[in-house]
Structure formats: structure tokens, C-alpha cells
Amino acid sequence: MMDDIEFRLLKRIAGGESQTLDFKFAVNDSRKIARSMSAFANTDGGSLLIGVKDNGKLAGIRSEEEIYMAEAAATMHCQPEVYFNSILYQIQDKEILEIIIPEIDNVLTLAPDENGNHVAYLRYRDANYVAGQIYERVWAKRNQKHSTHLRMDEYHKAMLELMERKGFVSLDQVMQDLGLKRGFAASVIERLILLDAVDFKLTENGMHYCLKEIK
């Protein structure tokens, strides 16, 4: 007979991957696990279920190697180190490992990208996305209580008008539509965000920017 713990775990798995749940068939690369840890820590927190295939089928973990790889991801590849809880389940004669990562408010957690550079990741729906340099700089300045003084010029006005027309735009779209170089376009977006005129909008196509809603 299925016990309550098994029932609840299988129900979560049946619901599929989400913004707070990620399935891993196995842990072959601790750097990939570090990216999920970074994304969960920087967003809403979440869990990695190791030993579960993408389609929700139970595969089970191979050995204690998965636990060591998770520890390596948290201690060696995340900056700063991520502290997590783990639960080992015995389900249908298989062992499923859950790694629980809390949301971290007071620090931005970085993990290595494909090139080995440590960057911040965010979680959106069932995938991890690179937050981008604009997000990292804004986060750092906000946490340093950085004050921004700005006199609106033609570039700021043009960017606000562009976002009003299109709803939300990527950095590449801003560069193309306004004919700006990447560094300058990024700095204008950054200042508008710090002024609470513009906000981040993470989509399935990566980071975008939009006018901030007035509440």
C-alpha cells in the first residue's frame, strides 16, 4: 500500500517540472546542477529531484555519487556557497534524491556558464536563464542603496517610447531599433530601472525590459 510520503512525491512528479521543481535523470556534471541551484536561490527557491527522467518516470539514483556531486556543485561551483537540505526517498524499489534550495534574498548566487564564467541565473517556468549583466549591476546597486540622479535626454525618452509601443523589448531589440551600441544601450536601461521607470521581464526567450507598472 502506498504511504503518504510516496503519494505526495508521486503527485508532485505527475505535476511536471515548474518554476520550483526540476527533474534530473542523473548528475553527470556538477556545474549544471550549480546553475539550477543559482536559479532557484535567486528566484523563489525550489527542489531538484535526482533520479527522475524529464518525462516523470522514476529511474533512481545510481549511488552516493549523486550526493557528492550535489555537494560539489554547492561548495565548489556556486559563489557564494549554497546551503541546501536533502531527502532520500525509497519509492517503487528506487532511491530518489531531493535537493531543496531556499530562496536567498541578501546575496546573488552565481554559477559557471558554458564558458566557465560565473554569472547569475534565474528560474522561469521550467527552465534556467542567465540573468545578464544589467540585472547583476542593478541588483548590486540596489543592495548598496545606490542613488541615481538622471536628467532625461533623447535616448531615455526614445527608449521609454519604444517600450510603450512594443510592450517589452530585449537589449538586442533596443540596439537595433534605436541604433545604439550594446554598452550604451545597457547603461540607459540600467538607469531607467534604478529610477523605477523600467522593469525586468523574464520570458522563454530570455531577459526583456518593459515599462514599470504603476500600482
Query: Which residues are paired to 26 by β-bridges?
Result: none
Q: What is the pLDDT of residues 160-189, one digit of tens each?
A: 999 999 999 999 999 999 999 999 999 999
Is residue 87 domain-shared with residue 119, that is, in the same domain? yes
Same domain, 104 and 139: no
Residue at grid coordinates 541604433: 179
DSSP 214: P
In this structure, the answer to whether residues 188 and 153 fall within a common structural domain is yes
**Are 51 and 96 found together in one domain?**
yes
Q: 172 and 115, same structural domain?
A: no
Q: Which of 130, 158, 183 is the last residue in one of the domains? A: 130
CA separation for the pair 36, 34 (Å, rounded): 5
Q: What is the CATH number of the domain that holds 100?
A: 3.30.950.30
**CATH number of the structural domain spanning residue 156:** 1.10.10.10
Question: CB–CB of 199/193 below 8 Å?
Answer: yes
CA 67 to each of CA 19, 27, 50, 158: distance values in angstroms, whole numbers, following the listed order? 22, 9, 9, 51
> In the chain, which residues have pLDDT < 70?
1-2, 146-150, 215
The predicted structure's pLDDT at residue 148: 64
* 74 and 177 co-located in one domain: no
Residues 119 and 145 in one domain: no
157 in the same domain as 125: no
If asked whether residues 70 and 168 sit together in one domain, one would say no
If asked whether residues 111 and 20 sit together in one domain, one would say yes
Q: How many domains does one find in the chain?
A: 2
Q: How far is 99 from 71, CA to CA, in rounded Å?
A: 10
The amino acid at residue 111 is: A
Domain end (from 68, 97, 130):
130
Closest CA to 133 of 145, 120, 146: 120
* Domain extent at residue 108: 4-130
State the pLDDT at residue 213.
Answer: 87
Are residues 83 and 179 located together in one domain of the fold? no
Q: Which of 195, 200, 208 is nearest to 42 (CA)?
A: 200
The last residue of one of the domains, among 72, 102, 130, is 130
Same domain, 101 and 183: no
User: Which helix (H) or strand (E) segment is 185 a member of?
Assistant: helix 182-194
Both ends of the chain: CA-CA distance in Å?
51
